[in-house]
Amino acid sequence: MDLEGILSDVGKNLRSSLIRELLKYASVPGSISFGGGVPDPNTFPRHELGEIAKEVIENEYPYTLQYNTTEGDDQLAIQMIKLLERVYGITGLGRDNLLFTTGSQQALDLIARVLLDKDSICFVEFPVYLGAASAFRMTFTNFETVPLQDDGMDVDYLEKKLDELDRQGKIKKVKFIYTVPNFHNPAGVTMSLEKRKRLIEVANKYDILIVEDDPYGLLRFEGEHLPSLYKLSGHDRVVLLNTFSKILTPGLRLGVIIGRADFVRKTTMAKQAADLCSPSLNQRMAARFLERYDLLEYLRPGVELYKKKKDVMIKSLEENFSDIKGTKWVNPQGGLFVWLTLPDGYDTMEMFEIAKEKKIYYIPGEAFTIDDGKSRSMRLSFCLPPEEKIIEGVKRLKEVVVEYGKKKGLM
Amino acid sequence: MDLEGILSDVGKNLRSSLIRELLKYASVPGSISFGGGVPDPNTFPRHELGEIAKEVIENEYPYTLQYNTTEGDDQLAIQMIKLLERVYGITGLGRDNLLFTTGSQQALDLIARVLLDKDSICFVEFPVYLGAASAFRMTFTNFETVPLQDDGMDVDYLEKKLDELDRQGKIKKVKFIYTVPNFHNPAGVTMSLEKRKRLIEVANKYDILIVEDDPYGLLRFEGEHLPSLYKLSGHDRVVLLNTFSKILTPGLRLGVIIGRADFVRKTTMAKQAADLCSPSLNQRMAARFLERYDLLEYLRPGVELYKKKKDVMIKSLEENFSDIKGTKWVNPQGGLFVWLTLPDGYDTMEMFEIAKEKKIYYIPGEAFTIDDGKSRSMRLSFCLPPEEKIIEGVKRLKEVVVEYGKKKGLM
């Protein structure tokens, strides 16, 4: 039988992610990859988690090996509420403000399902976090993109766009503004406190929900921790997404939606139809870890490691790219990514062919556009390669840029 | 801000499952519950899984604690292919015929997303497995229901309906026929070999996909194993769903879609947007368990336990309900459920109020209708309560039925 003939509109529209396709090359021997955004497995607390896993299976099997509630583990909720209070200063949360999900990706998908119709509008940053775009795209929503500046989203531009939509009578179609305020993926920038306040003002003015995605908040290398939009707004205006992927391990696949009880209830119902519940074992493991260990203490060496690697990458970029006029890069205050922008005329997707030859991999900026538009930027991740590979990798990247530039008559 | 005002059509339409609401009562002290369809945790191989968990975390942490591919663990795929060959006689499967999911529930949701549009039609059995209905309902699909008989779906009725739709020019709207052929949830019946062959003939005739959901196939108490629709059809016509929830533990949240490579690829792309990947740890644990232990050997005591409990329940029903004319029950050859139908005039949802007073819980048949229609049937699960509680529970149920019958003038 013919499969194409019976696919839904969603089914017809699905495509595989560009990153996924590109990462296939990263396993070629001798290659250096700045591609994947995955944490270094040597930072994972494997001994602690190994012990905990055995213990919670042996001693709590009627819970850990059984179906869970859709909301997830109550003990993890207690730990999460404590953690949010301690590190983010968020208070007043109850059990019904939290839904545990399969990573943040499922949170994004559930939010899209309960809010977006085909004719809805949602605001995302440009460049956009790819996972969010792929989740929201499943409903064929109309995207409005807001450019990112060095201190985060261009809120004036956002306000202008909202004003236009309001005058066109379309403001009710706008369902939310999606933002990654800390150490943005891919752009590396952090939203300033001033802009955070302004963003909330604008959202209040037009009565629009903010979806705040904060996977990297605890991975700060330098500078002051900034309060979350969730905290600043007084909770009701913002849905906050958190995940254990970057602060504990991605393998547990644990994310959490933090929001008003009525919103959490709706996403819980959607999750019930989507996968019934997340594994009890993984949630209880995370709960025990948080009970027994100080997450911030545990994170410290990992954050120091990432900071050192980031510094090596920035230094290498300075050494190699300072002489190419029009090139710029963001020096991130935390997170996993550096965003490198080349001079006008570069197309980092096309250039990828040369990168493949030289066995150096990055993610072309095109992956972070809504419409697969051309881009002269690229995302560089420093978290996995050892320092000497970062130095060697940036050298190779320079060669790639020079070769492509000459070929195209750009230099 | 007003949440109702920004919900999508899907969001507005979501509701909590009836079972979920009813199960709240089951924890009242002194109560006996035939409600939940969850396996007995004492059948779980906790020592084996505890050891395996520790081992695969300690020794394979760069895999088990890291992100996985969307398709899932290759080692689990090898074990699954072996298992399908050994116990179901299914041969010729490759890696690209399998996608691991968060239980079967996610498989149902992904299938719905890649196949169903708002104006699609899908065929389900009546009574219908609730989880499937809730997943399919997220797209507002039109359901056609096919009555279940003692030997499975009424295939003649199905053919008549398809023929009508064909004559009305609507046959292309029919996306699939969903069936639970072994030890149906909730109806307890098993589709005969003859009907399996007939169903495939009918599906071939109208060129319709079959979605075969088989969570209980290995939990057979008596009678001959019947070949799956997937095997009988020669693979291309059928998508087969399997899960480890009822044969290993539900806590791992592991299901699998088995189907043609092009279909598996599409559902994989949908899963990528839905949750990126399932936990590596849980998949590797299942893989190691299947490598080291004989699943059929391990299952034997559990199946014997369920069979004994089922026999106790059937005997109790005979002792208590034989004198109420018009009452019938299905004696299942496997699985977890007995389906009890009361005489005309009974409404098991309304009767639930009396059941609550007497602290005996069941799932009213209404939960397994598409339109929350009234029902004189109920689902009774025998897997969790010990034998003496089953005997006591059926006695209480009889009292409930008599009291309701008298109140309503039915006896």
Query: ipTM of the predicted structure?
Result: 0.95
User: Is residue A48 within 8 Å of A289, Cβ to Cβ?
Assistant: yes
Q: Give the nearest partner residue to B279 out of A5, A101, A282, using CB atoms.
A: A282
B76/chain A closest Cα distance in angstroms: 16
Relative orientation angle of helices A387-407 and A348-357, to the nearest 10 degrees: 120
The answer to whether B34 and B385 have CB atoms below 8 angstroms apart is yes
Contacts of B39 in chain A (CB under 8 A): 66
Report how far residue B146's alpha carbon sits from residue B158's, in angstroms, rounded to the nearest whole number: 6
B204, closest residue in chain A (CA to CA): A1
Whole-number Å distance between alpha carbons of A353 and A342:
16
CB count within 10 Å of CB A1 equals: 12
Could you give the C-alpha distances from B71 to B290, B386, B389, in angstroms and in order? 19, 39, 43
Tally of CB atoms within 10 A around B307: 18
Instruction: Please compute, for residue A377, the number of CA atoms within 13 A of its CA located in the half-sphere on the CB side.
Output: 23
Nearest in space to A236 (alpha carbons), one of A269, A262, A206, A254: A262
CA atoms of A103 and A251, how far apart (whole Å):
9
Tell me which of A21, A24, A65, A185 to substitute to probe the interface with B (most B C-beta atoms closer than 10 Å): A65
* Residues of B with Cβ-Cβ distance to A172 under 8 angstroms: 5
B86 forms beta bridges with: none
Q: Chain B contact for A296, CB < 8 A?
A: no
Which residues in chain B touch residue A48, judged by CB atoms under 8 angstroms apart? none
Q: What is the pLDDT of residue B198?
A: 98
Q: B50 CB contacts (<8 Å, ≥6 apart)?
A: A53, A54, A55, A57, A58
CB contact set of B247 (below 8 Å; sequence gap of 6+): B218, B219, B295, B299
How far apart are the C-alpha atoms of B105 and B255, rounded to whole Å? 8
Chain A residues in contact with B250 by the CB 8 A cut-off are 65-67
Residue in chain A lying closest to B106 (CA): A275
For residues B127 and B135, give the distance between their C-alpha atoms in angstroms, rounded to a whole number: 16
Q: Where are the alpha helices (DSSP H) in A276-323?
A: 280-292, 295-321
Q: Please say whether the beta carbons of B185 and B337 come within 8 A.
A: yes
On chain B, the residues whose CB falls within 8 A of the CB of A57 are 46, 49-50, 53
A64–B279: do the CB atoms touch at under 8 Å? Answer: no
**Searching chain B, which residue's CA lies closest to the CA of residue A236?**
B1
Residues of chain A contacting residue B135, judged by C-beta atoms under 8 Å apart? 273-274
d(CA A188, CA A328): 12
Here the tokens at position A239 are 């849905």
| Residue range A367-398, pLDDT digits in tens | 999 887 899 999 999 998 999 999 999 999 99
Q: Does the CB of A136 have a partner CB in chain B at under 8 Å?
A: no
Check CB contact under 8 Å for A15 and B262. Answer: no
Contacts of A121 by beta carbon, 8 Å cutoff, 6+ apart: A141, A142, A143, A144, A165, A170, A173, A174, A175
Distance, in Å, from the CA atom of A169 to the CA atom of B366, rounded to the nearest integer, reads 43
Which stretches of B61-182 are DSSP H helices? 61-64, 74-88, 103-115, 130-137, 155-167
pLDDT means over runs of 10, chain B (411 residues): 91 82 76 88 94 98 94 97 95 97 97 96 96 90 94 98 98 97 97 98 98 96 95 94 93 96 96 95 98 94 94 98 95 96 96 95 93 92 94 98 96 86
A286 contacts chain B (CB < 8 A): no
For chain B, say whether A185 makes contact (Cβ under 8 Å): no
Asked if the Cβ–Cβ distance from B8 to A114 is below 8 Å, we say yes
Consecutive H or E run containing B302? helix B295-321
Whether residue A260 lies within 8 A of chain B, CB to CB, comes out as yes
Q: Which two tokens stand for residue A212?
A: 């705040």
What confidence score (pLDDT) does residue A373 get? Answer: 85
With beta carbons less than 8 A apart as the criterion, state whether B400 and B355 touch: yes
Q: What is the pLDDT of residues A43-56, one digit of tens each?
A: 899 999 999 999 99
The CA-atom distances, in angstroms, between B366 and each of B300, B309, B346, B349, B403 are 34, 25, 12, 7, 20
Query: What span, in angstroms and rounded, lies between the C-alpha atoms of B186 and B363?
Result: 9
Quick one: which of A25, A104, A49 has its CA closest to A292?
Answer: A49
Tallying the residues shown for chain A, one arrives at 411
Residue B369 structure tokens: 């209708």
Check if B102 contacts A (Cβ < 8 Å).
Answer: yes
Assess B272–A contact: CB distance below 8 Å, yes or no.
Answer: yes
Cβ contact (<8 Å) for B209 and A1? yes
Q: Which residues of chain A lie closer than 8 angstroms to B103, CB-CB?
A: 275-276
Tokens read off for A370 = 């809504």
Q: What is the dihedral of CA A145, A149, A152, A156, to 10 degrees?
A: -60
Chain A residues 308-367 with CB within 8 Å of chain B: none
Answer yes or no: is pLDDT of A40 > 90.
no
Q: Do B251 and A62 touch (CB under 8 A)?
A: no
> So what's the pLDDT on residue A166?
98
User: Any CB–CB contact under 8 A between B13 and chain A?
Assistant: no
Residue A111's SS3 state is helix
DSSP-assigned letter for residue B39: P
Q: How far is A258 from chain B (nearest CA, A)?
A: 15
Query: In terms of CA atoms, which chain B residue is nearest residue A204?
Result: B1
Mean of pLDDT values over A253-274: 97
- Number of A–B residue contacts, CB under 8 Å: 247
Q: CB B41 to CB A65 under 8 A? A: yes
Residues 6+ apart with CB under 8 A from A44: A248, A249, A251, B61, B65, B66
pLDDT of residue A281: 97
Rounded to 10 degrees, the C-alpha dihedral B322/B326/B331/B332 comes to -150
Q: Does A175 touch chain B (CB under 8 A)?
A: yes
Strand, coil or helix: what is B65? Answer: coil
Do A277 and B253 make contact, defined as CB atoms within 8 angstroms? Answer: yes
Q: What pLDDT does residue B97 have?
A: 98
Shortest distance between the Cα of A407 and any Cα of chain B, in A, equals: 36
Cβ of A138 within 8 Å of Cβ of B46? The answer is no
Q: What is each CA distance from A19 to A186, A273, A378, B64, B400, in whole angstroms?
A: 12, 29, 12, 21, 60
- Write the DSSP symbol of residue A239: E
Asked if A66's CB is within 8 angstroms of B58's CB, the reply is no
Q: Does A47 touch chain B (CB under 8 A)?
A: yes
Distances in Å between the Cα of B41 and the Cα atoms of A1, A65, A66, B45, B391 are 42, 7, 7, 9, 21
Contacts A281 to B, Cβ<8 Å = 53, 251-252, 281-282
The residue of chain A nearest to residue B235, with distances taken between CA atoms, is A1
Angle at which helices A280-292 and A74-88 cross, to 10°: 40
Residues of B in contact with A101 (CB under 8 A): 275
pTM of the predicted model as reported, rounded to 2 decimal places? 0.96
Structure tokens at A228: 């979350």
Distance CA B360, CA B375 (A): 18
Helix (H) or strand (E) holding B213: strand B209-213
